[in-house]
Chain A
Amino acid sequence: MAIHERSLVDPERVLRKERLVIDGVDVSGDWNLIILPRVVEDYDLDFYDEVIAQPEGKTIVNCYQCSYCTASCPVHNYWDERYNPRHFIYLARLGLIDELQKRADVMWRCVSCHKCTHRCPKGVLVEEVLKAILRVMAKRGIIEEYPSKKFDKFFMDSVYEYGRIEDGELLFGWIEKQGYQVVKDPILKKPIPFFGGVPDWLKDLAAKPIKNMNISFLILNAKHMLFHPRTKNWNRFKQVLRKVMEEEGVFTH
């Protein structure tokens, strides 16, 4: 059966059944398609309580929905209109979880320019509030962890291990972590740049600066990729760092 005004119907609301029995009546055949109503049946107010329980989430109570933040937001204006900080705040306050979840794919796209926070006439710390909302969503398993956190972790692991990062390793090593096929040298098992399944856009991105680098710098970089140097006395500092990180509760190793 055809659905009229298909664009207005969310795909997850369309139910198709081979056999359908309603109140004991077999209506299979023509009546095999049901569109679930889009009526909001209740609020999830616990969600809001979890947001304001976090220090970053406190100022969510101030919002009066003027949308100064959204009008200022570069992500909303130049990337995807579905990224709408003002709307996310409204949804979080009433706990309209399914509406939040619908936008989960764009919600991490904040570039932290803080225009929203600086301009908000009610003093809502918009950027922080949104992070608090995302954290509650992640805790409830309705949004994936922030994708860039994978990079953050790789970066942090590298610093923790060696006291420094290597640009080449960071770039191509991270590519491997992202699940691309990379070719490794047989002895040290390090990724070989530009080989394997590295995407073209990344090759272009990396090749541009390399063209302008002087040869000795390139050799140095290649050497460092193979034999990762450590910061002087790093092992001693690492102990201190570990202790601090443990005390702060951010130690993840």
Chain B
Amino acid sequence: MAKSVLVVGGGPAGLAAARTLGKLGIPTILVEKEQKLGGRPVLEDYHTLIPRKMTPQQVIGPFIEEVQNNPNIDVKLGVELEACEGEAPNFKVRLSNGEEHEVGAIVVATGFQHFDAKRKGELGYGIYPDVITNLELEQMFSREGKLYRPSNGQLPKRVAFVFCVGSRDRQLGVTNVHCCRYGCALSGLQGSEIREKYPDVDVFCYYMDVRTYGTWEYPFYWAPQEKYGVRYVRGRIAEITYSPTDGRLRVKHEDTIVQRPAEIPMDLVVLVLGMEPSEGTKKVAKILGLAQDPDSQFLVPAEDAGSNIISNKPGVFIAGACKGPIDIESSLSEGEAAGAEAATFIGAKVSA
């Protein structure tokens, strides 16, 4: 019986799983397709993470360091899972670098990808430079440290957040009907950050409803309004146009509270992107024969398992955003849980 574990994906969930396994003294192989560990938050330079308002370096940095320094963990960058044969606890896996390994359990943490805003043509992303995504806004903060309009480099007077771009939308097909779960909260945080640094900039959030669930209600919905003066307007933005006379954008919507159509001038429009399963997630699902949601293609837990990290295939555990939208904090805990679960699956015992 194989005594090592394969972790697929080096993002928050994969790192947490590998770290737990490494600390338990189990030989672990971590494969990451990119050249760097950390996943989306690190690769794409997120600025502040919800819900603890810490930087990716603060949250994920220690995980990366521990994983890299643990002799039990074999980190393989630029490597993907190619094929898998056999049943648990004797999986024979082949990697893209030609290596073959025998592992007792597999943790899948292949994550998500951001929605491509160009698919919503009516929102003008890619046409008007001042229509950006919330990912680009994060990068504006983290890479350049300032807020500006891409068209002229100046500070915008007004910023609009457009909720649910690529989420809860049947027009895109059945693949994007789910809620992205992080967007409302992140917009509240980004709006607060803008208002804190630039008190003269007015921030508007255009929403259908605000889903800052659980304990996120105060820090990411109440505080933006009460403490930072972010304005919430109910109505989904249907179209974004540009007015050459004043060089500003117009957000076209119905204010559903006032029940009137509106075309409000804005300087910068931020599209709040939905989450989709990454290419890696779809690929790994096929290789390992994991159950997927027929609509969204996210991985789904076994039907008879109460815990959501147990996959339909014995010996394979799923953690993080490959199962659907999730925040980084929960990704880390799921990774840890999946790591511990994989350890018990291969029969590892704590020796005195």
Contact = CB atoms under 8 A, between A and B. Distances in A.
Interface stretch (B7-15, B84-92, B226-234): B226-234
Interface string A70-107: 00000000000000000100110110100100000000
B242 to A, nearest CB: 15
Contact of B231 (A41, A42, A93): A93
Nearest to B233: A94
A45 B229 CA distance: 12
Interface residues of B, number: 19
A62 B258 contact: no
Nearest to B217: A64
Given A39-B263, A43-B264, A61-B225, A91 B258 contact: yes
A206 to B, nearest CB: 44
A38 interface: yes
B261 interface: yes
Interface in A178-228: none
A99 B258 CA distance: 8
A112 interface: no
B264 A38 contact: no
Contact of A40 (B225, B231, B262): B262
Contacts of A43: 264
A231 interface: no
A90 to B, nearest CB: 5
Given A61-B225, A62-B225, A94-B233, A39 B257 contact: no
A28 interface: no
Contacts of A94: 231, 233, 255
Interface string A148-167: 00000000000000000000
Given A40-B263, A45-B202, A90 B226 contact: no
Mostly helix, strand, loop or mixed at chain B's interface?
Answer: strand
B156 interface: no
Contacts of A90: 257-258
B52 interface: no
B105 to A, nearest CB: 46
Contacts of B265: 42
B233 A62 contact: no
Interface in B202-243: 202, 221-222, 225-226, 229, 231-234
Given A40-B264, A99-B258, A65 B234 contact: yes
Contacts of B222: 62, 64, 122
Contacts of A45: 202
A61 B257 contact: no
A39 B231 contact: no
Interface string A109-129: 000000000000010000000
B262 A39 contact: yes
Nearest to A86: B257
A38 B261 contact: yes
B197 interface: no
Contact of A62 (B202, B226, B255, B260): B226
A62 B225 CA distance: 7
Given A45-B202, A94-B231, A96-B258, A61 B226 contact: yes
Contacts of A91: 258
Nearest to A123: B226
B261 A87 contact: no
Contacts of A38: 260-261
A101 B233 CA distance: 20
B257 A41 contact: no
A39 B262 CA distance: 5
A43 B221 CA distance: 22
A231 B232 CA distance: 56
A61 B234 CA distance: 16
A39 B260 contact: yes
A160 B72 CA distance: 90
Interface in B304-332: none
B264 A42 contact: yes
B158 to A, nearest CB: 9
A66 B263 CA distance: 25
A78 B232 CA distance: 30
A147 to B, nearest CB: 27
A43 B262 CA distance: 10
B225 A41 contact: no
Contacts of A122: 222
A91 B260 CA distance: 12
Interface in B244-272: 255, 257-258, 260-265
Interface in A26-53: 37-43, 45
Contacts of B226: 61-62
Contacts of B264: 40-43
Interface pairs A-B: 9 shortest CB-CB: A40-B262, A39-B261, A61-B226, A90-B257, A40-B260, A62-B226, A39-B263, A38-B260, A61-B225
Interface of A: 37-43, 45, 61-62, 64-65, 87, 90-91, 93-94, 96, 99, 122
23 contacts: A37-B261, A39-B260, A39-B263, A40-B258, A40-B261, A40-B262, A40-B263, A41-B262, A41-B263, A41-B264, A42-B265, A43-B264, A62-B225, A64-B221, A64-B232, A65-B257, A87-B257, A87-B258, A90-B257, A91-B258, A94-B231, A94-B255, A122-B222
